Amino acid sequence: MRRIEGRPLRADARRNRDKILSTAVVMFARDGLDATLDGIAKEAGVGPATLYRNFPTREALIEAAYRSELHKLCEASDELLAALPPKEALRAWMGRFLDYVGAKIGMADALRALIATGVNPYDQTRDLMHAALASLLDAGAADGSLRSDVAAADVAAGMTGIAIASGNPPQRDLAERLLDLLMDGLVTTR
């Protein structure tokens, strides 16, 4: 059954698609370009036809897997703000950013291969990430827990620098300590 544009996927089709995407991220990170589509389908517990129906090409799967990770990260800002005070939500989001960067580093070969085909998977990354960060910073400024004079772009640059400084593979404990230092600079002093 083909998906009709504009119509949401059935629950089971959505679960299968999500399993394929999360498995693809893991396998591209682990195996690089040696990860096969049939292997991803098998590991995800779906048939090859299900994978190819959702992602007709390797490039389509790589792009969708990357964008899925990006959207999970960005959507987490609202989820965290609903569950935590803004300052804590921002710090939790920063930890998720490290997970996102780790997945992106792991998928580097697959993403480079995608870019070589002329597709830019990063075209919306900056805008989406800055919007997510801005919502967290604005909420913290509104409740007085975070400074109001810090731009989302500056925090993103700091987090990116931390992710790079923590090495490949990331040294999570170092990165967490550096994020704590960045947070210290964002917290208001009353």
**Cβ 37 vs Cβ 60: under 8 Å:** no
Q: What pLDDT score does 9 carry?
A: 66
Going by C-alpha positions, the residue among 170, 47, 52, 153 that lies closest to residue 100 is 170
Cα–Cα distance list, 5 to 8, 9, 67, 148 (Å):
8, 10, 19, 42
For residue 187, the SS3 value is strand
Q: What pLDDT score does 126 carry?
A: 92
Q: What pLDDT score does 151 carry?
A: 97
**Cβ 52 vs Cβ 37: under 8 Å:** yes
Q: What pLDDT score does 60 carry?
A: 93
pTM: 0.85
Looking at residue 170, the DSSP 8-state letter turns out to be T
* Tens place of pLDDT per residue across the chain (190 aa): 334 455 666 888 889 999 999 999 999 888 888 899 999 999 999 999 999 999 999 899 999 999 999 999 999 999 999 999 999 999 999 999 998 888 888 888 888 888 998 988 888 899 999 999 999 999 999 999 999 999 999 999 999 999 888 865 558 889 999 999 999 999 998 6
Question: Which domains occur in the chain, in start order?
Answer: 9-56 (1.10.10), 65-186 (1.10.357.10)
146 backbone dihedrals φ, ψ, rounded to 5°: -125, 150
